[in-house]
């Protein structure tokens, strides 16, 4: 059995937060300045002048955001070295259509890192909304039901609110380090199967190579790397892999998953955010879990809840385990990723928006 222990220094790290640590969302928020908003408006104007077309993938060197880089770099530092989550307020969404807003958000995000494909459709900005017209092929983010806490792909997840639901749809976030510490304090023996890991099912979009429907290696739910905690919590996919492999999870593994799931429902661990239009949350996907509440939309076309999702790799390193890295690399191959390293830069001409 590998050593599973609490890292005493890291438990004092800002990423071990709980909802009670914050008196209000103000303590988590960064407000865009008038100059920041003007830079984003200029990005939309430049995009329109180019006929709604710019390089794909877009990178930081392609579009200048005067003054905003300092804000974005500070945000990235909070995500990768600090508490792992933040709210950005003030995106100008009221006076633009969805395509223009998506481009503005794409430009903002590409200044933080490299935008990743989110499915075999290869979209780099995902439209998270209820899609009853695709009832036979809906993915989880196209449904209106409640989600359980989970992790996505990439170093950073960003979610921009374009339209709120008529009712519900609040976001929920939780610190993996806070959950780890709770389990360590109450049932430390259940950390071992979480650190050992499990094969994970590929779900609806497997990698483009021969597999049996799941990873041929264990993906840890929790792991320590260079003194930092990482999380990959995908309980349904773990159960899918066990079913496909014809194996039965041990009683200890099931108990560990059940306890983790219980922690993901505790009000003293899970932070609930009701984002307004023009507000976005950004999280470190390696140490923060996320979900959303069920929601009800207003009737009528183009009146439902709409969030824009971004998956990012960032130049700021965050250490993760080999099993987790293999898993993310396989997902990238499934989604058509064939990109240079995130810090390799771009050799295309820079578009100045000054």
How is the chain split into domains, by residue range? 28-175+273-334
pLDDT at 118: 87
Residue with tokens 């996919």: 237
What CATH superfamily is the domain 28-175+273-334? Answer: Clavaminate synthase-like (3.60.130.10)
The token duo for 235 is 């309980």
Give the confidence band of 4 by pLDDT, cuts at 50, 70, 90. very low
Angle, CA 152 vertex, CA 53 and CA 136 arms, to 5°: 75
Beta partners for residue 273, in sequence order: 171
* Buried b / exposed e along 124-161 (16+ C-beta atoms within 10 A): bbbbbbbbeeeeeeebebbbbeeeebbbbbbbbbbbbb
Give the confidence band of 133 by pLDDT, cuts at 50, 70, 90. low
pLDDT, mean of residues 196-211: 86
Residue with tokens 């998506």: 102
pLDDT at 352: 30
pTM for the full model?
Answer: 0.89
Phi-psi region of 226 (alpha: psi -120 to 50; beta: other; left: phi over 0): left
Measure the CA–CA gap between 44 and 52, rounded to whole angstroms: 9
Residue 41 has pLDDT above 60, yes or no: yes
Rg (CA), the chain: 20
């Amino acid at each position: 059995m590998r050593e599973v222990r609490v890292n005493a220094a890291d438990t004092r790290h800002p990423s071990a937060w709980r909802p009670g640590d914050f008196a209000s969302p103000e303590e988590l928020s960064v407000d865009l300045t008038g100059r920041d908003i003007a830079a984003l408006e200029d990005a939309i104007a430049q995009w329109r002048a180019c006929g709604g077309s710019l390089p794909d993938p877009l990178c930081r060197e392609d579009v200048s955001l005067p003054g905003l880089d300092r804000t974005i770099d500070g945000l990235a530092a909070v995500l990768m070295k600090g508490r792992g989550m933040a709210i950005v307020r003030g995106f100008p969404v009221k006076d633009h259509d969805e395509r223009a807003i998506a481009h503005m958000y794409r430009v903002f995000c590409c200044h933080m890192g490299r935008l990743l494909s989110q499915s075999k459709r290869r979209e780099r900005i995902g439209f998270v909304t209820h899609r009853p017209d695709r009832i036979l092929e809906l993915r989880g983010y196209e449904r209106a039901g409640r989600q359980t806490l989970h992790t996505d792909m990439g170093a950073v997840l960003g979610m921009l609110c374009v339209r709120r639901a008529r009712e519900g749809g609040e976001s929920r976030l939780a610190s993996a380090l806070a959950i780890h510490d709770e389990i360590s304090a109450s049932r430390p023996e259940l950390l071992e199967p979480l650190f050992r890991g499990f094969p994970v099912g590929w779900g609806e979009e497997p990698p483009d190579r021969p597999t049996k429907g799941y990873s041929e290696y264990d993906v840890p739910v929790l792991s320590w790397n260079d003194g930092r905690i990482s999380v990959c919590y995908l309980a349904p996919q773990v159960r899918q892999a066990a079913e496909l492999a014809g194996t039965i999870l041990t009683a200890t593994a099931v108990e560990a998953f059940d306890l983790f799931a219980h922690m993901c429902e505790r009000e003293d661990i899970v932070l609930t955010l009701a984002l307004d239009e023009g507000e976005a949350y950004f999280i470190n996907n390696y140490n923060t879990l996320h979900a959303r509440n069920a929601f009800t939309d207003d009737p009528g076309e183009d009146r439902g809840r709409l969030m824009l999702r971004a998956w990012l790799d960032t130049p700021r390193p965050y250490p993760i385990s080999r099993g987790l890295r293999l898993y993310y690399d396989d997902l990238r191959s499934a989604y058509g990723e064939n990109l240079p390293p995130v810090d390799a830069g771009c050799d295309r001409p820079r578009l100045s928006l000054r």
